[in-house]
Chains A and B, each alone.
Chain A
Amino acid sequence: MPPYHPNYALNEIRALSLKAAKGAGLDWGLAEDAAFGTVFLCRYGFDGCGALIKLLDHLLQYPAAQLKPNHSAADNQSRILRATHGLSPLYAGIALLDRARQSNALPITLSKLHTPLFILPFIAELSKIWRIPLCAKTQHGTAHFNMAADEPCFSFIADDPQKWHIASDLMIKKSVMAVDRVTDNIPDKIIDKRRNIAHRAYVDEDIMCEILRLAHKIYAPATEESRLKGAGAGVTDHD
């Protein structure tokens, strides 16, 4: 296994999170969505890899059908997404995005959402598709997005981003604040404001070890046959 390093290029995070999600058993397509979410969070300075590991743990615990949004007719009216064993932000995220052009009715409630941090990339993408500012609110704070603006903007108002790893109800609404002004009147105790774009991801050692462990599952064990045939050896390379 490769050694641990304190910081990573975002392209490395993209490749590793894709492999880790696939290694955890997701189909390639869903793994792409997981990698998209992880990189988005890292780009805005969040612990995207930590959120990914929590997400994958949750996915491994229950059958997919129990983590996907199952909406009753009544839910459809009021746009409430819920799941039997806690709504996975990955399944909720793709349900919102895949059907974004079907309906842009707001508000949308995600009931008992697991790892709410991981839904933020998908809401940002919704803001881009719908070309409107959105906000996502939980009991631990509010995120504002204006991703269709000339200068896409993402503000996050919460006393502790770590609390966004804890399951919570989340409501998506149209943001009434101009996102780039969100930070103007924030009390001092609110520490996390407008998110700047980060070019590197800082990942805890335990988290990276787990990502590497999962990613490793997609690699085929080396055999003498693959060593000789797979890479095209067997001819002289003396030149």
Chain B
Amino acid sequence: MAESLNLRPPEMMMKLARLGAFHQCRLSFMRQLTRRMAAEQWQFTRPRFDINSKGEGVAVYTAKTPNGCYSLVAFAHDLPADQRSDRVIATAWDATFTLFDGVPDDADIARLFKNVPKQEAGRISHTELSLSRANRSVRLWDYVLNKLAAGQQPSQCEIDKVGYLMRTTAVYGSGKFGSADRQMIQDRRELRAPFQVEMLSVFLTRAFVKDLIEHLAVEKGGDQAVRLDDDLAKRISIGNSTGLGMAPFLVNHPALLHQWIQAREQAIAHVRAIKTLQETEKTYFLNIFKRAQLSALNWQTDHELQAGKIKILHEDIKKIEQKLNANCLDQQNAWDSLIAWSQDHLSLEGQEWLASLILEPYPEITDRLQHEMHSDHSDFAIDGSMTNQELMDIIQRRFGWALAEDWDNHAHISRIWYVSQEKLEPRLGERFEEKLDPYEQPLGIGFQAFNAHQALLQRRGDEIIADFIDEYPQFRRIIRRIQLYADMAYSEIQDNVLGADLMPIDMLRAKLSFFGATRFDPRSDRWVRIAMFNGAPYPDQLNLENADDWVYAAP
């Protein structure tokens, strides 16, 4: 399929600036989950809600699927304000969670109560699929609580300014802190796509947060308290603060990165190949376009750089609107022309916004590609029979950008990735100012490929790689990587992650866009706030009509 399609090339797609401009689309993991839950008619119950007037206690939310049950176990805490921090290095939270495989009994709850509130310092087991925590929004929580307790609805404007009542700071899975390995659950149909455990956990967390604030409003306001209006509630997401901990993921999971980007690029290429648009497709697109435009107008940030990009995005959207008003969709090959035009006339933010949006009228083209977004890649051995020349050919084909980089320039290697003893979290230091070399994490793939290539140039081309590695064992890792992913076009970021001008938030944005996150709000060059499930229905409201396009503002 891929061979006959005109995919946007990796040299274009895998630049950090473009990865940092990605937007959610039909393939995003949140939307995959809500579509599946609605299609399979998952049943949601709340078998337990024992929360006291101070907001302390436990609640359980169970999702019943055609194949079994998953339960979010939520522990609510009364956290003193001075301990509230959305940094990953915090040690106490307003609420802590785990997604339990099945329905927990009292003994499970008792065990989890001893561990889940401690997060990284606790221990979960193979029956738990995720571990996460959330804090209340200082800006919004008390305001909404007081309004509801007084029998009033909060203002939409205040809600939109923040967008969430609670924000998570980490959602761990895949064996972390003792949870079940992905290999244990990846054959389950509903968990086959990436990050479905984590997305389900957040979806149920959002329901818990709404229940919690309504419960506390009644505790505070008694009979006069009211429930949150449904339309307002939909505008409330789960916030998330994501920092450097997520950045190495893209480098450390090349096969997965390839699958994600290839699936989206294939979808885009299929849509671009459509010659004539049906009226229904045009109408659908124009409707979604208006709603997406509204969502873009609601996107707020204090981050100067991002605010500038959003301003340009608004201008880009106006340019697209002018094209649409000039009936560009009536032309032959309309999508292909529009995307080609966007590459010359719009910012990266605008180009990627449009590229995601043109997939919307085409579920039959796009949604089947969601089955291609996981990776079972398990090859491991180095092919030592490859010649030095063959390996150099691959490096020249795959790492041309790295071979052209001036690595003697200190500014190009001034950053160093390491893990700190303090929280065992990835950090970014200054190579020439701090003594961090012995602790370097090997994330500078381009630099390593360049160095291997330099060493290979000194050897005979017909010598085999097994002999080369015998002599240069320091290149063992990069050679394995180059060989294993040689045919995965989108597996490598084609940019320097060691340079002084690196913006780690670009790496975060790429991953978070595939989650389906919106409202990217960078807080520095290395951490970002986002919204999850903004606009989504709650579990008891989910149906086939609202399961997918909730991500765009209500018309």
Alpha-carbon separation in the docked complex, A52 to B544 (Å): 52
**Interface residues as binary, B231-272 with A (CB distance below 8 Å gives 1, 0 otherwise):** 000000001010110000000000000000000000000000
**Which chain A residues border B182 with CB–CB below 8 Å?**
11
How does the 8 Å CB contact mask read for B79-102 relative to A, with 1 for contact and 0 for none?
A: 000000111110000000000000
B466, A220: Cβ atoms closer than 8 Å: no
* Complex interface: chain A residues within 8 A of B383 (CB): 101
A98 CB contacts on chain B under 8 angstroms:
381-382, 384, 465-466, 469
Within 8 A of A (CB), among B151-181: 162, 167, 174-176, 178-181
Contacts of B180 in A (CB 8 A): 9, 199
Residues of B within 8 A of A223 (CB): 434
B-contacting residues, A206-238, CB 8 Å: 216, 218-223, 225-227, 229-235, 237-238
Given contacts A5-B123, A225-B434, contact A239 B138 (CB under 8 A): yes
Given known contacts A10-B175, A101-B385, A237-B241, is B427 in contact with A226 (CB within 8 Å)? Answer: yes
Does A32 make an interface contact (CB < 8 A)?
yes
Q: Does B8 have its Cβ within 8 Å of any Cβ on chain A?
A: no
A30:B476 contact, CB within 8 angstroms: yes
B contact residues around A235 at 8 Å (CB) = 523-524
Q: Would you call A219 and B420 a contact (CB within 8 A)?
A: yes
Question: Within 8 Å of chain A (Cβ to Cβ): is B500?
Answer: no
A125 interface contact, C-beta 8 A: yes
Q: Indicate whether A12 reaches chain B with its CB closer than 8 angstroms.
A: yes
Are B174 and A11 in contact (CB-based, < 8 A)?
yes
Q: Given the complex, which residues of A lie within 8 Å of B114, measured CB to CB?
A: none
Please name all residues of chain A whose beta carbon is closer than 8 Å to the beta carbon of B526 when the two chains form the complex. Answer: 231-232
In the complex, A150 has a CB within 8 A of chain B: no
Say yes or no: B178 contacts A222, CB within 8 Å.
no
Give the distance in Å from the alpha carbon of A222 to the alpha carbon of B465 in the complex: 39
CB nearest neighbor in B for A64: B473
Tally of chain B residues near chain A (CB < 8 A): 67
- Does B126 count as interface, using CB distance less than 8 angstroms? yes
- Once the chains bind, are A199 and B480 in contact (CB under 8 Å)? no
Q: Which of B179, B183, B421, B442 contacts A219 (CB 8 A)?
A: B421
* A: number of interface residues (CB 8 Å): 46
Describe A's contact surface by its main secondary structure: mixed
Q: Is B429 in contact with A8, judged by CB distance below 8 angstroms?
A: no
The residue from B123, B385, B422, B424 contacting A99, defined by CB atoms under 8 A apart: B385
The one of B126, B162, B418 that contacts A220, using a Cβ cutoff of 8 Å: B418
A-side contacts of B13, CB under 8 Å:
none
- Pick from B123, B137, B175, B381: contact of A11, CB below 8 A: B175
A200 lies within 8 A of chain B by Cβ: yes
**B434 to A226, Cβ gap below 8 A?**
yes
In the bound complex, residues from chain A placing their C-beta under 8 Å from that of B504 are: 232
Q: Mark B446-481, 1 if CB is under 8 A from A, else 0.
A: 000000000000000000111001000111111110
How far does the alpha carbon of A82 sit from the alpha carbon of B446 in the complex, in Å? 37
* A residues 88-104 touching B (CB-CB < 8 Å): 94, 97-102
A230 to B428, CA, bound (A): 5
Pick from B439, B480, B529: contact of A239, CB under 8 Å: B529
Q: Is the pair B420, A237 in contact by a Cβ cutoff of 8 Å?
A: no
Given contacts A231-B87, A235-B524, contact A102 B183 (CB under 8 A): no
Q: Which residues from B are CB-within-8-Å of A100?
A: 381, 384
The residues in A between 20 and 77 inclusive whose CB is less than 8 angstroms from any CB of B are 27-30, 32-33, 36
- The answer to whether B477 and A97 have CB atoms under 8 Å apart is no
Considering the complex of A and B, which 7 residue pairs feature the smallest CB-CB distances, nearest first? A29-B476, A11-B175, A9-B175, A230-B427, A232-B526, A29-B477, A98-B384
Would you list 11 pairs from A and B whose C-beta atoms are within 8 A, ordered by A residue? Answer: A99-B466, A100-B381, A218-B419, A219-B418, A219-B421, A227-B420, A230-B429, A231-B89, A231-B243, A232-B526, A239-B137
| Contacts beyond the supplied A231-B87, A231-B88: 15 A-B pairs with Cβ under 8 Å | A28-B477, A29-B477, A32-B480, A98-B381, A98-B469, A101-B384, A101-B385, A218-B419, A219-B418, A222-B420, A223-B434, A231-B244, A231-B427, A233-B87, A238-B139
Binding site for B on A (CB under 8 A): 3, 5, 7-12, 27-30, 32-33, 36, 94, 97-102, 125, 129, 199-200, 216, 218-223, 225-227, 229-235, 237-239
